Chain A
Amino acid sequence: MNMGPQHPSTHGVLRVMLTVDGEWIRAADPDLGYLHRSFEKMAELRTYVNYLPLTDRWDYLDAMGNNLVYAETVEKLMDLEVPPRAHYLRMIVCELNRIASHLVFIGTFGLDVGANTPFMYCFRDRERILDLFEAICGARLTYSYMRIGGVACDAPDGWLEQVRDFCDYLPPKLEELDDLLTGNQIFVVRTRNIGVITPEQAIEWGLSGPMLRGSGVKWDVRKEYPYALYSEVEFDVPVGTRGDAYDRYCVRRREIDESLKIIRQCLDKIPEGDVMAKVPKIIRPKAGEVYHSVETPRGELGLYMVSDGSDKPYRMKIRRPSFVNLSIFPELVRDWKVADVVVILGSIDIVMGEVDG
């Protein structure tokens, strides 16, 4: 049976060829590439500055995180020091973007199991975040807010207070969501013990992000290899116990709380000052190679960049977490039912723009 690329629950243009026996799945064969845009090759043809807007289009639900990994990788290559205010602004927008992305996940996961209302609530709250982004950089989805050496512009007057208001606004709304989904008996029955990943399996398949932490492995790039100023803020890394779809959902749900915590600390600590370091007009990093990774809502987004000293990268390899996380999917859905396929796929939380590169 052919599922996708035009199926309501494949989250984009994923095509899976399922071998079914009645409602039972015997084998699944994903067919990728419907959204391939050769991002790695395009990097070799553009200058370092020119490529930045394209990063927005990898994982379009977490454009800030993509901006960040690209900017920080080039900065690492150039040994560039970024002003602290820029660091804090970057962390605030990244965590806001993480919340927005997880809200989309919760909403669409609700749709996958047949609950329509949480989706509306999530998108209503996500709208507030998009409004904040619009205020700071003028865009609602493809921000290109960060620059190599800092951020495009300082926060407008009153923006930081608006962020603080949002941090107070969200928790009651999240409780509403918990009533509708997290504690809902039908939802728990649909997701408990579905698509279980053991910790060993998770590590073997190279999973990262909530997919890994759902299985109980406490591993977060923000903690293991702190970037930006994540070493200066306190937060927990939520982990699951059973590694099923429900645990992965709960990890993401609790990460929203942690992100709020990080944002509050950043708002307290943010110093005055420049938001942009001194950067030459034409960026020509010295020849060399570097690997840098950040924790996006989907996992470890890594960038391996080789410079030959010219104004364009010689080679750029993107470690796309959605792609790596999706690789375990055929393994997970075997011997489950058709109804579980959408739950398992939903719990992986893929963004096809990133999977297909």
Chain B
Amino acid sequence: MDWTYWLFLLLKMVIVLGWALLMVPLLIYMERKVLADFQARIGPNRVGPVGILQPIADGIKLLLKEDLLPAKADKYVHFLAPLVAVVPAFLALSVVPFGPITHKETGTGYFVTHVNVGLLFILGLGSLNVYAITLAGWASNNKYSLMGGIRSSAQMISYELSMGLALIPVLMIAGSLDLVRIVENLGVAKGEGLSRLLLTVPLTISFVIYCICGVAETNRAPFDFPEAESELVAGFHTEYSSMRFALFFLSEYVNMITVCALATTLFLGGWKFPFVPETGPFPLLVFLAKVMIGLYGYMWMRATWPRLRYDRLMKLGWTRLLPIALANIILTGILMIAFQ
């Protein structure tokens, strides 16, 4: 534990934070262009070449806007809510393994920290998001915002349980909560031949459930109830402007990255890809490519589907996803015993 270790850690923190902050404008630009493509439009094309600087212009605009506080709003909670949204969003990225362990003796690698319960850490932080939305809705002194906040908590009890249960088969097969070890173990633990083929079935079911819940967790279409533009105007962030609104926006996109990163880690093999070496920049590139595919899926869904009614998600969560997730666990158990 000499000073180089700490310097290296600090450097990695800065890099991951910087990467996330860079990804957000990139994603906003990508989303606008992808949506425009789906909708037979051109999309941003005025600021910079092919509109590439548009998100930066948006960011500057948000920075310079007046920071409004509605009358009779709860000043402190109103101030706190965006922070509650954005801090866990970035924290979750600290345990995401972008690549393998490179130095066995110090345990460092392509990640900021190596937590042996990384999965629980991410799930825990992910569920904090709902506090931010509920608090924001409550503190805004606006009925639409409040309704968005309440919807958000109703939404959480609809998906959270199924999401947790959907991940259990992964843990059972990989035998660890450690994200690095899950990536390394999962392929091996599935065995060879028939065992590999059959164990893929429960994992695929888990993946689908996780994807549905992941979209619900990030409040994106078709589960964007707390925002629900056509119903609640802008939902929980109706009364937010300037940088505070930008923080909500930031946290939404970082959460999307986290959900996709977790999906990549747990189901898509993380940084591994056939015939690609696990050294140098390759693990990072593979990981990034997989995350980007997931993010494209988000945009695809947003362009294609209408919004569900929020109580339908609850019905979906409790009457469909939950029983399937439970049955999936039993299936995994049976398969694992059969192929032991």
Residues of A participating in the B interface, judged by any CB pair closer than 8 Å: 1-2, 7-9, 22-23, 110-117, 119-121, 124, 180-181, 184, 186-187, 189-190, 337-342
Q: Is the CB of A190 within 8 A of B35?
A: no
Provided the pairs A1-B143, A117-B38, A338-B147 are in contact, do residues A190 and B306 lie with their beta carbons within 8 angstroms? yes
| Cα separation A8 to B150 with both chains bound (whole Å) | 21
Cβ-defined contact, B222 with A337, below 8 A: no
Given A7, A120, A187, which contacts B306 in the complex, CB threshold below 8 Å? A187
In the complex, B304 has a CB within 8 A of chain A: yes
Interface size of B in residues (CB-CB distance below 8 Å): 30
Chosen A-B contacts, 7 in total, with CB atoms closer than 8 Å, are A8-B229, A114-B224, A114-B229, A114-B230, A114-B307, A180-B304, A342-B231
Report the minimal beta-carbon distance from A180 to chain B, rounded to whole angstroms: 7
Chain B residues within 8 Å of A341, by CB: 231
Determine how close the nearest CB of chain A comes to the CB of B110; give it in whole angstroms. Answer: 37
Chain B positions 234-281 with a Cβ under 8 Å from a chain A Cβ: none
Q: By the criterion CB–CB under 8 Å, are B230 and A337 in contact?
A: no
Interface bits B31-73 vs A (CB < 8 Å: 1, else 0)? 0000100111100000000000000000000000000000000
Residue of B nearest to A338 (CB): B231
Annotate B216-236 by CB proximity to A: 1 below 8 A, 0 otherwise: 000001101000111111000
User: With an 8 A cutoff between CB atoms, is B308 at the interface?
Assistant: yes
**Can you list the 10 inter-chain pairs with the closest CB atoms, starting with the nearest?**
A114-B307, A120-B39, A115-B306, A113-B306, A9-B230, A114-B306, A339-B309, A1-B143, A117-B39, A187-B306
Q: Chain B's nearest CB lies how many Å from the CB of A182?
A: 12
Task: Tell me whether chain B's interface is mostly helix, strand or loop, or mixed.
Answer: helix
B121 within 8 A of A: no
Which residues on B are within 8 Å of A, measured CB to CB?
35, 38-41, 143-144, 147, 150-151, 221-222, 224, 228-233, 302-312
Q: Are B147 and A186 in contact (CB under 8 A)?
A: no
Query: Could you say which residues of chain A place their CB within 8 Å of the CB of B151?
Result: 23
Among A114, A124, A184, A186: residue with most chain B CB under 10 A: A114
CA distance A112 to B309 in the complex (A): 12
Q: Told that A114-B222, A114-B307, A120-B40 touch, could you supply 8 new A-B pairs with CB distance under 8 A?
A: A9-B230, A114-B305, A116-B35, A116-B303, A117-B304, A120-B41, A121-B40, A190-B309
Least CB separation from B311: chain A residue: A337
Q: Which residue of B has the minimal Cβ distance to A180?
A: B304
Residue of B nearest to A187 (CB): B306
CA distance A339 to B144 in the complex (A): 12
Cβ B230 vs Cβ A111 within 8 A: yes
**A8 close to B230 (CB less than 8 A):** yes
Specify the chain B residue showing the minimal Cβ separation from A188: B306
- Tell me if B40 and A186 are in contact (CB < 8 A): no
Residue among A184, A338, A342 with most chain B CB within 10 A:
A338
B133 CB to nearest A CB, Å: 16
Give the docked Cα–Cα distance between A171 and B179 (Å): 51
Are B41 and A339 touching (Cβ within 8 A)? no
Cβ contact within 8 Å between B306 and A186:
yes
CB–CB A8/B233 < 8 A: yes
With a cutoff of 8 Å between Cβ atoms, the chain A residues found around residue B222 in the complex are 114, 186
Residues A116 and B233 in contact, CB atoms below 8 Å apart: no
* Least distance between A195 CB and chain B CB atoms (Å): 13
Chain A residues near B147: list those with CB within 8 A. Answer: 23, 338
> A117 CA to B228 CA in the complex, in Å?
16
Inter-subunit contact A339/B310 (CB<8 Å)? yes
Residues from chain B with Cβ under 8 Å of A112 in the complex: 230
Closest A residue, CB atoms, query B154: A23
Q: Which residues of B contact A2 (CB under 8 A)?
A: 143
What chain B residues lie within 8 Å of A8 (beta carbons)?
Answer: 229-230, 233
Chain A residues positioned under 8 Å from B40 (CB to CB) = 120-121, 124
Chain A nearest CB: distance from B300 CB in Å? 11
Distance in Å: Cβ of B335 to nearest Cβ of chain A: 31
A124–B221 CA distance with the chains assembled, in angstroms: 23
**CA A57 – CA B309 in complex, angstroms?**
35
- The CA-CA distance from A121 to B40 in the complex, in Å, is 7
**B224 nearest CB neighbor, chain A only:** A114
- B309 with A340: CB separation less than 8 A: yes
Cα A9 to Cα B259 with chains together (Å): 31
Across-interface contacts of B302 in A (CB, < 8 A): 116
A111: which B residues are within 8 A, CB to CB?
A: 230
- From A110, A115, A180, residue with most partner B Cβ within 10 Å: A115
Contact A339 B305 (CB under 8 A): no
**Nearest-CB distance from A187 to chain B (Å)?**
5
- Contact partner of A113 among B150, B224, B307, CB < 8 A? B307
